[in-house]
């Protein structure tokens, strides 16, 4: 009887202990769901060009500025990520919205990150307090450090990329290429790839290892979807490393042609490869 009673009391104790923990976890999940619902309502109104309705989702101090701005047409949207900031009174929201690009006569998805704030129990979009952009981070993490290194105030950059430019040469439109930028962590501490700012819908992050010990080798990997490109292009992406606050620019360039144009080019030039020597695409 004593053993049964002890077992019963243990079950009751554990039940209360677990019950006490559940509300905190579910409360955060509930808040995230509330925010996602507000984001969905906001972008649905944007998609339908209901501008007076969209203003209701903008934080009060920023509404006048929001009203004065031009807002483009979107065909659709998708919530990619919601990340609560410290204190959980604000959140970074990543949304991919679909727009029509007349020059290529097709729709593409454009990534965008905004900040939403919790005011009196309700979430509002704050367009006047955007998250740090790649440009602002680049100024602090790159340009300012380049100047400091030239002045001898900082040691040389200790992250060594084998190459920072990939020229894919001439590629047939529609192919997906996997491009890799190998590098070495030459610092004396563990580093991580905090963010890979692609800034383009035709690039997809495929980097696998993001944390590296001192001296360890890694690589930045991206998939390039050429179906959204045509003719010559050059595009820069940025790799942010923490906790060392470094940002490294990488470049992809080349030429994308329709299959018929490549075939015509080969016919005009003869059997030789239409690509320039040494500029072979990195295949998957």
Query: Could you tell me which residue, 38 or 134, shows the higher pLDDT?
Result: 38
Check whether 264 has a pLDDT greater than 90. no
| Selection from 133, 109, 107 nearest residue 197 by Cα | 133
Residue 257 belongs to domain with CATH number? 2.60.40.10
**Helix H or strand E encompassing 75:** none
- At 121-180, the pLDDT tens digits run 999 999 998 887 666 777 788 778 888 888 888 888 889 999 999 998 888 888 998 999
Query: Could you tell me which residue, 45 or 198, shows the higher pLDDT?
Result: 45
Instruction: State what percent of residues in the chain have pLDDT above 90.
Output: 30
Domain final position from 92, 125, 158: 125
Q: Identify the domain containing residue 258 by its residue range.
A: 134-269
* pLDDT score for 38: 94
- At 53-91, the pLDDT tens digits run 999 999 999 998 888 877 777 888 888 888 888 888 999
Residue 59 belongs to domain with CATH number? 3.10.450
Task: Please tell me the distance from the alpha carbon of residue 153 to that of residue 140, in angstroms, as a whole number.
Answer: 15
Which of 221-225, 240-244, 278-282 is the least confident region?
A: 278-282
Domain final position from 74, 103, 125: 125
Check whether 13 has a pLDDT greater than 50. no
User: Rounded to whole angstroms, what are the CA distances from 45 to 42, 71, 275?
Assistant: 5, 12, 47
Over residues 191-199, mean pLDDT? 85
Query: Do 178 and 220 belong together in one domain?
Result: yes
* pLDDT score for 282: 45
Q: How many residues are listed for the chain in this entry?
A: 284
pLDDT averaged over every residue in the chain: 79
Q: Residue 91 — φ and ψ, nearest 5°? A: -150, 150
* pLDDT score for 109: 64
| Selection from 223, 206, 111 nearest residue 168 by Cα | 223
pLDDT category of residue 258 using cuts at 50, 70 and 90: confident
Query: Do 34 and 151 belong together in one domain?
Result: no
User: What is the C-alpha radius of gyration for the chain, rounded to an integer number of angstroms?
Assistant: 25
| Selection from 277, 250, 254, 266 nearest residue 183 by Cα | 250
Look at residue 275 and tell me if it is in a domain.
Answer: no
pLDDT category of residue 9 using cuts at 50, 70 and 90: very low
Domain final position from 66, 94, 125: 125
Q: Please report where in the chains the tokens 């001898």 appear, as a residue.
A: 152
Check whether 246 has a pLDDT greater than 80. yes
User: Rounded to whole angstroms, what are the CA distances from 38 to 65, 87, 119?
Assistant: 20, 20, 13
Burial of 43 (0-12, 13-18, 19+ CB in 10 A): buried
């Amino acid at each position: 009887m004593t053993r049964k009673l002890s077992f019963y009391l243990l079950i009751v104790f554990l039940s209360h202990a677990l019950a006490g923990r559940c509300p905190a976890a579910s409360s955060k999940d509930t808040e995230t769901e509330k925010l996602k619902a507000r984001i969905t309502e906001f972008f649905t109104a944007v998609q339908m060009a209901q501008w007076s309705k969209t203003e209701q989702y903008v934080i009060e101090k920023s509404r006048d500025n929001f009203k004065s701005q031009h807002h483009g047409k979107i065909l659709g949207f998708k919530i990619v990520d919601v990340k609560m900031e410290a204190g959980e009174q604000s959140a970074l929201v990543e949304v991919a919205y679909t727009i029509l690009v007349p020059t290529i006569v097709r729709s593409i998805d454009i990534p965008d990150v905004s900040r939403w704030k919790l005011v009196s129990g309700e979430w509002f979009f704050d367009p006047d307090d955007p998250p740090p952009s790649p440009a602002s981070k680049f100024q602090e993490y790159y340009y300012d450090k380049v100047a400091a290194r030239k002045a001898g105030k900082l040691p040389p950059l200790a992250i060594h990329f084998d190459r920072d430019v990939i020229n894919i040469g001439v590629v047939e439109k529609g192919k997906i290429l996997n491009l890799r930028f190998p590098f070495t962590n030459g610092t004396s501490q563990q580093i991580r790839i905090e963010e890979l700012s692609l800034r383009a819908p035709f690039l997809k992050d495929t980097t696998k290892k993001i944390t590296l010990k001192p001296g360890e080798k890694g690589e930045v990997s991206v998939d390039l979807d050429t179906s959204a490109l045509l003719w010559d292009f050059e595009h820069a992406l940025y790799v942010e490393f923490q906790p060392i606050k470094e940002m490294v620019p990488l470049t992809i360039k080349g030429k994308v042609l329709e299959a018929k144009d490549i075939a015509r080019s080969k016919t005009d030039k003869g059997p030789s490869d239409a690509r320039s020597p040494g500029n072979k695409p990195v295949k998957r």
